[in-house]
Amino acid sequence: MRDLFPVLRVLGMLMVLFALAMLLPFGISWFADDGIWRIYPWAMAITAAAGLGLWLGLRHYKRELQTRHGVILVTLVWVVLPLCATLPLVLGMNHIGLRISFTHAYFEAVSGLTTTGATVLSGVDELPVSINVWRTFLQWLGGMGILILAVAILPLLGVGGAQLFRAEAAGPVKDTKLTPRMTETAKGLWAVYGVFSLACGLAFWAGGMRPLDALMHMFATVSLGGLSSHDASFAYFDSLLLESIALVFMLLASCNFALYFIAMRKGRWDGFWRDPEMRATLAVLLGGGLLVAVLLWAKGVYGPLQALRYGVFHVVSVATTTGFATTDYLAWPVFAPVLMLLLSGVATSAGSTGGGIKMVRMLILLKQARRELTRLAHPRAVQPVRLGDTVVGNPMIFSVLAYMLVYGATVITLSMVLLLTDLDTVTAFSAVLASVHCVGPGLGAIGPASNYAALTDFQTWICTLAMLLGRLEILSFMALLSPAFWRR
């Protein structure tokens, strides 16, 4: 237990930092006079007091964190910070007479921080504006990763930045250094994220959104989270221009932010366009959108221009794990929504703000499968697995295979648990996939025209667990359950 004290000390620091994030909804509540500004000082005080208690109580346990400490800290952050995030939701909604259970509040907080975008709330248009700002702001914080933010702005923590970065970064490639110091790398990634955020918010505002709507939908777009301040989601605006702006930034955010950082740092974009994962990501997103558009046109659902508008927007939205919707796509031919949900698992790059398996893993699996097929015909052939000009080593291939095995077992197990609760098959499997992929809307009872309020509390907790596992990329959490992990 004493070995965990340095981890808990850093967790306390992060809780204090997280309490400061509540200043944004507090300021908006004050200026907009939405009637609940008094609850935010309480929420900040409770969170900061708990964090300071850990920090000061364990201040003597200051030491460099090892890799396994990073895994523990990342897991604790994604479990504990949603607890803190529930405070404004519970206090604010109770203040206006809308009761929300702890189960639903925690689900909503996890959904925001993991950028899933699922919700159990109805009538969000009528909520105090600061509550909606908080819900959408959680996505923005979780998009690039809270721990990466900590590594960027708190270099004097005495924390092993490299260990935290590797534990938090998404995808199989975690050891590539973009700069000599991880602190500089984290700052660079957050700088790119900030530039995209500013550009997206200004574009939404110029496109006709009110300033607060532009702010909230910027949070939801660049994070690929998809939570909206309107029950109708993006259909509320009914604007081709705004949908086009969202489409561009969803595509940008689905690619590896490290590529943007390197291109901006060197002033050259040729390496960006040669990246095989980026090319595959954009090809799958745009190709899938055109395929669904042709299907909608061929089936007579829409005319050619409308089919292109709705098909491309919704495929990119769902496949990038954003989850914006402008129509109930469950009314389309069944091939389309099923394809979109399946694409949500693979159509974002490692190092993006999206969820899912990540495109780089699928590329490695496909190339490994091709190598094995070649070996059947030519047993002596030497055919290394390559991504671009880089040879992928066997340890990384084994890591990807292990991840896919655990991923498949997790999806099947959680789906079977939901089926035990008598949930229908389509809703059960799509709820788990949508949660693990961090996409939000699923099929059946949790489609774009409804939400997760249709589930029981137990079913909601299963989806909450699935969101956390998806954000932690499953293996980090599974490692904690291994006895070998806890041996010295």
pLDDT digits (tens, 9 = 90+) for 159-184: 444 444 454 555 554 445 555 566 77
What pLDDT is recorded for position 146?
A: 66
What number is the average pLDDT over the span 101-120?
Answer: 94
* CA 29, chain centre distance (Å): 26
What pLDDT is recorded for position 374?
A: 86
pLDDT band at residue 120 using 50, 70 and 90 as cut-offs: very high
What number is the average pLDDT over the span 205-218?
Answer: 95
Cα–Cα dist 224/281, whole Å: 15
Q: What is the mean pLDDT of the chain?
A: 87
What number is the average pLDDT over the span 436-442?
Answer: 92
- With 70 as the cut, is the pLDDT of residue 16 above it? yes
Closest-CA residue to 277 (of 356, 344, 363): 363
What pLDDT is recorded for position 157?
A: 47
What pLDDT is recorded for position 178?
A: 57
356 or 173: which leads in pLDDT: 356
What pLDDT is recorded for position 175?
A: 47
What type of residue sits at position 465? L
pLDDT band at residue 488 using 50, 70 and 90 as cut-offs: low
Give pLDDT tens digits for 287-336. 999 999 999 999 999 999 999 999 999 999 999 999 999 999 999 999 99
Cα–Cα dist 277/263, whole Å: 16
What number is the average pLDDT over the span 202-222?
Answer: 95
What type of residue sits at position 276? P
- With 80 as the cut, is the pLDDT of residue 487 above it? no
Cα–Cα dist 72/8, whole Å: 10
pTM, full prediction: 0.91
Cα–Cα dist 391/389, whole Å: 7
Choose the weakest-confidence range: 27-31, 63-67, 129-133, 443-447. 63-67
Encoded tokens for 395: 């340890």
pLDDT band at residue 63 using 50, 70 and 90 as cut-offs: low
Give pLDDT tens digits for 131-163. 999 999 999 998 877 666 665 555 544 444 444
Q: Count other Cβ atoms within 10 Å, centred on residue 162.
A: 19
Cα–Cα dist 355/319, whole Å: 10
